[in-house]
Structure 1
Amino acid sequence: MSRRSTPSSGHGSDLSREVIAEAARIICEEDVLDYRSAKLKALQRLGQKSGPGSRGALPDNASIQAAVIEYQRIFGGSDYAGHLIAMRRAAVQAMKLLQPGFSPRLVGAVVSGAITYAHRVQIHGFADRPETLDFFLQDRGIPFEQDERDYRYPDGTEVPVPLARFEAGEIGIDIAMFGLDDLRRTPLSPSDGLPMKRLNLADAEALAAVGIEAILGSPTLS
């Protein structure tokens, strides 16, 4: 894909703005999901280095997330908005399936709008035993893969959480299975370091009802 002029966040030093813009372009055009990797790659392409002796610290992830959303609105346009709506609707359908026993919550890029075609829907579920979800999906004939993801908490601890991954048409769904007590114990978002925004089914349905014009013309939830 050809290199495009990327919108700037308008904050910080010239170098910081350049890194934010280039990192957002890398994420959107090269399907890089990890913000730190995108920032380091952006520094390298700008002829800079990180660490001691560098001209400045890496910009924060919240700035990158905002730049990704801005980039997608400008360059992704209706294709981006349509895919975001499809992901949000798929999330609602998955949450309705899980609603009776797992208190599902929608999290991540589908909530903020900072998505690319490489992103998957991220849902948190809650149960006494994580394998309950495996039995639930098996009983309904839904093929899935088991995985694991580390979540960091405000006290500094990092906890591995079981993950079930399946496909809903062309959209990937990841369900992280937490214990029941974790409904009141929220991990930190890798995007801004704050407790993750968790949407219940009603909030997710309201988000899925947001149309293309609103997505492209006004800020989304962060």
Structure 2
Amino acid sequence: MPAPSRVRQELAQEAARIMLDDGIRDFGLAKRKAAEHLGVDARHEMPGNLEIQDAAIERSRLFADADSQAAYRSRLAAALVVMERLRHLEPRLVGPLLQGLVESQPLINLHGFAETVEEVILELGERGIHCETGEHRYRSRQGREQRVPFLAFRGPDDTDVELTIFPLDGIRQAPPSPVDGRPMARAARHEVERMLEDAAQSAGLSAAAD
């Protein structure tokens, strides 16, 4: 496979910057904005979603500093608080935070599992948590579209939480990732705890080296 062209690499890097800095989750929109910013014809060969994700991960590592590392640990800790409070939903962490990315918008993406979304809305309301409702659309490799409801609400430490509610048996099969079409990566609470421990340890080593 030939190496990607310089323009394609620049488009991937610019799209990654836009997604991280502007909190854009739509790969197509990020690509169009990247082409506009670089003055490239939108019909030019565009990078794939996986190329953009790889560029975002690399950018996050390259520009990591004490503040961004602290923000990452803080968001993981906030995710753990929510996951503990909703442990009966067997929540799973997904999305950029799971990939180690620190976006400008402190958003925590979780998958939860319940018989109905209404029972989760009722429970949150009883806890005094107001939530907005929405819907995600996932397309399988067979081309079938699945619509899954999500609840958006405020979490700890000024974070926003987006909790997608799947049926109980949805825990067995993750929906396809918009990046590569493979089952979306998910992390249970004990895995997020380990991620936080590793991040804290890395921060301690960095401080000792300084």
| Interval of TM-score (by shorter of Structure 1 and Structure 2) | 0.7 to 0.9
Give the TM-score, by structure 1 length.
Answer: 0.82
Give the percent of matched residue pairs that are identical in Structure 1 and Structure 2. Answer: 32
Give the TM-score, by structure 2 length.
Answer: 0.86
Q: 2:102 aligns with which of 109, 115, 133?
A: 115
| RMSD between aligned residues | 2.1
User: Does residue 170 of the first structure (1) align with residue 158 of the second (2)?
Assistant: yes
Does structure 2 conserve the Cα–Cα contact (< 8 Å) formed by 1:73 and 1:80?
no
1: CA distance between counterparts of 2:54 and 2:18? 14
2: CA distance between counterparts of 1:29 and 1:203? 27
1: CA distance between counterparts of 2:8 and 2:165? 37
Q: 1:85 aligns with which of 38, 56, 73?
A: 73
Q: 2:9 aligns with which of 17, 20, 24?
A: 17
User: Does residue 142 of the first structure (1) align with residue 129 of the second (2)?
Assistant: yes
Q: Deviations over 1:97-118 (max 9, x none)?
A: 1112x11111111100233122
Q: 1:130 aligns with which of 93, 96, 117?
A: 117
Partner of 1:46: 38
**Paired residues, number:** 201
Q: Deviations over 1:3-37 (max 9, x none)?
A: xxxxxxxx511111111111122223333332221
Q: Deviations over 1:88-139 (max 9, x none)?
A: 1111111111112x11111111100233122511111111111111121122
User: Does residue 191 of the first structure (1) align with residue 179 of the second (2)?
Assistant: yes
Does structure 1 conserve the Cα–Cα contact (< 8 Å) formed by 2:149 and 2:164?
yes
Shift of 1:76: 4.3
1: CA distance between counterparts of 2:75 and 2:140? 27
Distance 1:175 1:213, change over 3 A: same
Q: Deviations over 1:168-192 (max 9, x none)?
A: 2311111111111211222111123
Does structure 2 conserve the Cα–Cα contact (< 8 Å) formed by 1:189 and 1:195?
yes
Q: 2:28 aligns with which of 36, 54, 57?
A: 36
Which residues of 2 match residues 151-170 of structure 1 at below 5 A?
151-168=138-155, 169-170=157-158
Q: 2:63 aligns with which of 54, 68, 75?
A: 75
Distance 1:35 1:201, change over 3 A: same
1: CA distance between counterparts of 2:38 and 2:47? 14
Deviates more, 1:172-181 or 1:204-213: 204-213
Q: Which runs of 5+ in 1 are unaligned?
A: 1-10, 218-222
Larger % of helix: which?
Answer: 2
